[in-house]
Chains A and B, each alone.
Chain A
Amino acid sequence: MSALPDVRVGNWEAVGLVAGREINTRLRSKAFIITTAATLVLLVGFTLVMKFLSGGSDATVGVSGGSVALEAPLKATASSIGQTIDTRQVDEAAGRAQVDSGDLDALLVGDGDKIVVIVKKEIDDKLRTALNALAGQLALNQEIRDLGGDPAEVSQQIAGAKAEVKPLEPPFDYNGQQLVIGMIAGILIYMSLLINGQSVAQGVVEEKSSRVVELLLATIRPWQLMLGKVVGIGTVGLVQMAVIGGGGIAAGLATGVLTISVSTAIGTAVWLVVWFLLGFFAYSLVFAALGALVSRQEDIGGVITPPLMFVILGYVLGISILPSDPGNKLVEVLSMVPLFAPTLMPMRLAMGGVPVWEAALAVVLVVALIPGLVWLSGRIYRNAVTRSGAKVKLRDALRAS
Chain B
Amino acid sequence: MAERRLEIDGVSKRYGDVVALREMTFAVGAGELFGFVGSNGAGKTTTMRIALGVLAADAGVVRWAGEPITLETRRHIGYMPEERGLYPKMKVGEQLVYLARLHGLSTERARRSVEEWTERLGVAGRRDDEVQKLSLGNQQRVQLAAALVHDPTILVLDEPFSGLDPVAVDVMSGVLQDKAAEGVPVVFSSHQLDLVERLCHRVGIVRNGQMVACDTVESLRAGGTVHLVVDAPQAPKQWADGLAGVTVKEHVGTQTVLELGPAADDQAVLRAALATGPVTEFSRRRQSLTELFRNVVSEEVAA
CB-CB < 8 A to A211: which residues of B? Answer: 81, 83-85
A2-B1, A3-B1, A4-B76 as given contacts; A218 in contact with B52, CB under 8 Å:
yes
How far apart sit A219 and B81, CA to CA, in the bound complex (Å)?
Answer: 13
B65 at the interface (CB under 8 A from A): yes
Docked-complex contact A219 and B54, CB < 8 angstroms: no
Q: Could you say which of B101-109, B217-225, B252-260 contacts chain A?
A: B101-109
A217 in contact (CB, < 8 A): yes
Name the one of A207, A218, A401 contacting B77, with C-beta atoms under 8 angstroms.
A218
> CA–CA, A386 to B81, complex, Å?
12
Residues of A within 8 A of B72 (CB): 7-8
Bound CA–CA A120/B165 (angstroms) = 86
B46: shortest Cβ distance to chain A, in Å? 11
Q: What separation, in Å, do the CA atoms of A65 and B65 have in the docked complex?
A: 108
Query: How many residues on B have C-beta within 8 angstroms of the other chain's C-beta atoms?
Result: 39
- Given A2-B1, A6-B104: A386 touches B55 (CB 8 Å cut-off): yes
Closest-by-CB residue of A relative to B103 is A219
Q: Which residues of A contact B79 (CB under 8 A)?
A: 214-215, 218
Residue-wise, chain A 1-39 has the 8 Å CB interface mask toward B (1 for contact) of 111111111000010010001001100000000000000
Judged by DSSP, the binding face of B is: loop
Residues of chain A within 8 A of B153, CB atoms compared: 4
| Residues in B neighbouring A14, C-beta threshold 8 A | 102
A25 with B53, Cβ < 8 A, contacts A213-B85, A215-B79 known:
no
A220-B53 contact, Cβ under 8 Å, with A7-B150, A210-B87, A211-B81: no
Cβ of B87 and Cβ of A386 under 8 Å apart? Answer: no
Contact of B86 among A2, A8, A210 (CB under 8 A): A210
* Residue of A whose beta carbon sits closest to that of B156: A218
Given A4-B76, A17-B98, A221-B71: A386 and B85 within 8 A (CB)?
no
A7 to B84, CA, bound (A): 24
CB-CB nearest in chain A for B51: A218
**Nearest-Cβ distance from residue A336 to partner chain B, whole angstroms:** 41
Of A8, A215, A220, the contact of B81 (CB 8 Å cutoff): A215
- Closest Cβ of chain B to A218, distance in Å, is 4
By a CB distance below 8 angstroms, the chain A residues around B54 are 214, 217-218, 386
* Mask of A205-233 contacts with B, CB within 8 angstroms, 1/0: 01100111111111111000000000000
C-alpha gap A212/B88 in the complex (Å): 9
Smallest Cβ distance from B162 to chain A, in angstroms?
Answer: 14
* A146-173 CB contacts (< 8 Å) to partner B: none
Q: A17: which B residues are within 8 A, CB to CB?
A: 98, 101-102
Contact A1 B65 (CB under 8 A): yes
- Map CB proximity to A onto B89-122 as digits: 1 under 8 Å, 0 otherwise: 1100010001101111100000000000000000
Total residues of chain A contacting the partner, CB 8 A: 31
Provide the residues of chain A in CB contact with B77, threshold 8 Å: 218
Query: Please, which residues of chain A bring their CB within 8 A of the CB of B126?
Result: none
Give Cα A218–Cα B54 distance, bound, in whole angstroms: 6
B195 within 8 A of A: no
Determine whether B127 belongs to the interface, using a CB cutoff of 8 Å to chain A: no
Q: Which of B37-63 touch A at CB < 8 Å?
A: 49, 52-56
Docked-complex contact B53 and A218, CB < 8 angstroms: yes
The residues in B between 140 and 177 inclusive whose CB is less than 8 angstroms from any CB of A are 146, 150-151, 153
* C-alpha gap A1/B153 in the complex (Å): 11
Give the complex CA separation of A213 and B54 in angstroms: 9
Q: CB distance B75 to A9 under 8 Å? A: yes
Chain B residues near A213 (CB-CB < 8 A): 85
> In the complex, A213→B49 CA distance in Å?
12
Residues of B within 8 A of A3 (CB): 1
Residues on A with C-beta less than 8 A from B75 are 7, 9, 219
Q: Mark A296-336, 1 if CB is under 8 A from B, else 0.
A: 00000000000000000000000000000000000000000
In the bound complex, residues from chain B placing their C-beta under 8 Å from that of A215 are 79, 81, 85-86, 99, 146
The answer to whether B201 has its CB under 8 Å from any CB of chain A is: no
User: Considering the complex, which residues of chain A in the window 114-152 have a beta carbon less than 8 Å from any beta carbon of chain B?
Assistant: none
The CB with the most chain A CB atoms within 10 A, among B72, B85, B89, is that of: B85
A206 to B103, CA, bound (A): 21
| Bound CA–CA A215/B156 (angstroms) | 12
Residues of the A chain whose Cβ atoms lie less than 8 Å from the Cβ of B94: 24
Closest to B86 in A: A212
What are 20 A-B interface contacts by the 8 Å CB criterion? A8-B72, A8-B104, A9-B103, A17-B102, A206-B87, A210-B87, A211-B84, A212-B85, A213-B85, A214-B49, A214-B79, A214-B85, A217-B52, A218-B74, A219-B75, A219-B99, A219-B102, A220-B71, A386-B49, A401-B56
Interface residues of A (CB under 8 A from B): 1-9, 14, 17, 21, 24-25, 206-207, 210-221, 386, 388, 401
List 12 other contacts, CB 8 Å, given A1-B2, A220-B102, A401-B56. A3-B1, A7-B75, A9-B75, A21-B98, A206-B87, A206-B88, A210-B86, A212-B87, A214-B52, A215-B85, A215-B146, A221-B71
The 4 closest A-B pairs by CB, nearest first: A7-B104, A211-B85, A212-B85, A218-B52
